[in-house]
Structure 1
Amino acid sequence: MPADPVLLDAPSRRRAGAGLRGLATSDVERSQRLRLMRSGALGSVHSWELVTAVDGPGTRLTVFLNGCPLRCQYCHNPDTWSMRDGGPVLASDLLGRVERYRGVFSATGGGLTLSGGEVLMQPAFAARILRGAKELGVHTCLDTSGYLGANATDEMLDDTDLVLLDIKAGDEDTYRRVTGRSLAPTLAFGRRLAERGVAVWVRFVLVPGLTDDPANVAAVADHAAAIEAVRPGTVQRVEVLPFHQMARDKWAELRRAYPLADTEPPTPEATETVREVFRSRGLTTY
Structure 2
Amino acid sequence: MNIGKIHSIESMGLVDGPGIRVVVFFQGCNLRCSYCHNPDTWVCAGGEEITPQELIKKIVRFKPYFTKAGGGVTFSGGDPLLQPDFLIEISKLCKDNGIHTTLDTSGFGIGRYEEILQYTDLILFDIKHIDREKYRELTARDIDESLKFLETAQKMNKKMWIRHVVVPGITDSEEHIQALTEMIKGLKNVEKVELLPYHLLGVNKYETMGMKYRLEGVPPMDKKLVKEWENKINEEIKLTRH
TM-score bucket of the superposed structures, by smaller chain: over 0.9
- Which amino acid in structure 1 is aligned with residue 218 of structure 2? T
Structure 1 CA distance for aligned equivalents of residues 219 and 142 of structure 2: 26
Provide the secondary structure at the position in 2 that maps to 1:44: strand
- 1:268 deviates by 3.1
> Could you say which residue in structure 1 is the equivalent of 2:177?
217
Pair 1:263-2:224 in alignment: no
Structure 2 CA distance for aligned equivalents of residues 50 and 261 of structure 1: 32
Gaps of 5+ in 2: none
Structure 1 CA distance for aligned equivalents of residues 170 and 209 of structure 2: 23
Pair 1:236-2:197 in alignment: no
Aligned-CA RMSD value: 1.8
* C-alpha distance 221-183 of structure 1, shift in aligned 2 (>3 A): farther
Question: Any runs of at least 4 consecutive aligned residues in structure 1 with deviations exceeding 6 A, and if so which?
Answer: none
- List per-residue Cα deviations over 1:43-75 (Å, max 9, x = no partner): 111111023431101111111111111000111
- 1:221 deviates by 2.0
* C-alpha distance 247-120 of structure 1, shift in aligned 2 (>3 A): same
Q: After superposition, where does 1:119-158 map in structure 2 within 5 Å?
A: 119-148=80-109, 151-158=111-118
Q: Tell me: higher relative CO, structure 1 or 2? Use CA pairs within 8 A at least 6 residues apart.
A: 2
* C-alpha distance 223-216 of structure 1, shift in aligned 2 (>3 A): same
% identical aligned pairs:
36
Structure 1 CA distance for aligned equivalents of residues 14 and 7 of structure 2: 21
Structure 1 CA distance for aligned equivalents of residues 118 and 108 of structure 2: 19
- 1:112 deviates by 0.7
Question: For structure 1, which segment, 99-108 or 124-133, has the greater mean C-alpha deviation from structure 2 after superposition?
Answer: 99-108
- 1:161 deviates by 0.3
- List per-residue Cα deviations over 1:237-265 (Å, max 9, x = no partner): 10000011111111111111111232112
Tell me, yes or no, if the aligned pair for 1:91 and 1:129 is still in contact at 8 Å. Answer: yes
- With structure 2 as the length reference, what TM-score do the two structures score? 0.92
Tell me, yes or no, if the aligned pair for 1:203 and 1:238 is still in contact at 8 Å. Answer: yes
Structure 2 CA distance for aligned equivalents of residues 254 and 110 of structure 1: 34
Provide the secondary structure at the position in 2 that maps to 1:83: coil
Q: After superposition, where does 1:24-103 map in structure 2 within 5 Å?
A: 36=1, 41-103=2-64
Pair 1:274-2:229 in alignment: yes
- Which amino acid in structure 2 is aligned with residue 204 of structure 1? H
- Which amino acid in structure 2 is aligned with residue 223 of structure 1? M
Structure 1 CA distance for aligned equivalents of residues 112 and 198 of structure 2: 29
Tell me, yes or no, if the aligned pair for 2:113 and 2:152 is still in contact at 8 Å. Answer: no
* C-alpha distance 192-283 of structure 1, shift in aligned 2 (>3 A): farther
